[in-house]
């Protein structure tokens, strides 16, 4: 049975995509810790990050860094946090989150009722920043 993220990648479920390439996609979290909270997800169904091929894992890190730079430009946070948890969806994904304090990465504070309008606005800001940084993999 396909994972939730595979269903999103295949277009069965909606998402606010900001990046697509042959190895991974990036879309906004539906329960963001902060506006702009992105998930970097490999197209391949990989359960645990330890199971990822080194080249795939390195690609996810490179894309996470590019997205992080775009988040810095779009939201001007103090830092960008990256986390790999894998507890909520059994499909490897890197959380890339603009933060202003360590408390900003507490998942108990996630906005579980983020509006589609707020997500769309944050996605547009991230896409604009990615384009400004010269990336062609920006997705609509």
In the chain the domains, ranked by start, together with CATH numbers, are 4-132 (3.30.428.10)
Give the pLDDT of residue 86.
86
Tens-digit pLDDT profile for residues 88-100: 899 999 999 999 9
Would you name the residues annotated as active-site residues?
93
* C-alpha dihedral (109, 112, 114, 119), degrees to nearest 10: 90
Average per-residue pLDDT for the chain: 97
pLDDT tier for residue 72 given thresholds of 50, 70 and 90: very high
- Which residue would you say has higher pLDDT here, 87 or 107? 107
Max Cα distance, the chain (Å): 40
Please compute the mean of the pLDDT values over residues 122-139 and round it to a whole number.
96
User: Taking the CB of residue 57, how many other CB atoms lie within 10 A of it?
Assistant: 18
Question: Where does the pLDDT of residue 87 fall: very low under 50, low under 70, confident under 90, or very high at 90 and above?
Answer: confident
């Amino acid at each position: 049975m396909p994972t939730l993220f595979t269903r999103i990648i295949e277009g069965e479920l909606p998402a606010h995509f900001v990046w697509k390439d042959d190895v991974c996609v990036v879309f906004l979290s539906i329960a963001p810790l902060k506006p702009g909270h992105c998930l970097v997800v490999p197209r391949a169904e990989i359960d645990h990050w330890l199971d990822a091929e080194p080249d795939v894992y390195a690609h996810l890190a490179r894309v996470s860094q590019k997205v992080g730079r775009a988040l810095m430009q779009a939201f001007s946070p103090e830092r960008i946090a990256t986390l790999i948890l894998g507890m909520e969806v059994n499909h490897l994904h890197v959380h890339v989150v603009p933060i202003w304090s360590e408390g900003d990465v507490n998942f108990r504070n996630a906005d579980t009722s983020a509006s589609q309008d707020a997500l769309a606005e944050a996605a547009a800001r991230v896409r604009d920043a990615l384009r400004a940084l010269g990336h062609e993999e920006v997705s609509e």
